[in-house]
Amino acid sequence: MRKMVPKEKILKASIGFIFYAVFFVLLPLAFLYFVQQSPELPAILSQAKTMLGIDVNGIIITIAIAGAIVAMASLMAGLTESWSPMNLIPKIVSSLLRLFISLTLIGLGDAASMGYVAKSIYMQQAGIQFILDLRFFAIAMALVTSVELFTHFLEYAIARKEKSQIPSTEANESNARHALADESH
């Protein structure tokens, strides 16, 4: 017989899911919707894509897709026991995707840039180049994610060890019945 998930755990997992869904999915998509409803902004975004190579629509869609996965992973991790691989895997996926979202934002759409962006704008005969160097923040985020992953593995290992050391309730009941039967003979 399977145990039911406690209501507090369901509530906590649901709140986490709603937070990530609103913050990483609904808000970016609502922003994209309102931008496209504006008469001037789509032209500005089109120029930014043409002149700078920054695809704001693509960045927002990428964040929304990654955010939907983070929200589902959060829900899965919240509803499973900490000793279960089905708890560890969503936590790992969630941590890595949050890092990806952060790197995508500070890399202006290019997560692989690790926060170092160099763009050039050329109009007629004049050109401007700007460099956005946020590698310190990218490295800091990668370190925080590494610590977070280590913590997830450590929590999982401790929970697995504790689960293996605690005998099951059925085994305890069976042993108690056998002990009573032995005493009666």
In sequence order, what DSSP letters do the residues of 148-179 get, joined into one string?
HHHHHHHHHHHHHHHHHHS--HHHHHHHHHHH
**Which tokens go with 39?**
């008469």
Confidence category of residue 34, pLDDT binned at 50, 70, 90: confident
Selected residue with higher pLDDT from 143 and 185: 143
Mean pLDDT rounded to a whole number for the chain? 83
The pLDDT of residue 41: 80
- For residue 18, give every residue at least 6 positions away whose Cβ sits within 8 Å of its Cβ, in sequence order, or none: none
For the segment 52-105, what is each residue's pLDDT rounded down to a tens digit? 777 888 889 999 999 999 999 999 998 888 888 898 999 999 999 999 999 988
CA distance 143 to 114: 13
Helix (H, G, I), strand (E, B) or coil at 67: helix
Quick one: average pLDDT of 106-131?
77
Cβ-contact 97, 24 below 8 angstroms: no
Confidence category of residue 175, pLDDT binned at 50, 70, 90: low
The pLDDT of residue 180: 58
Q: What is the DSSP letter of 25?
A: I
- Work out the end-to-end distance of the chain between its first and last CA atoms, rounded to an integer number of angstroms: 32
Quick one: average pLDDT of 4-33?
90
CA distance 46 to 124: 18
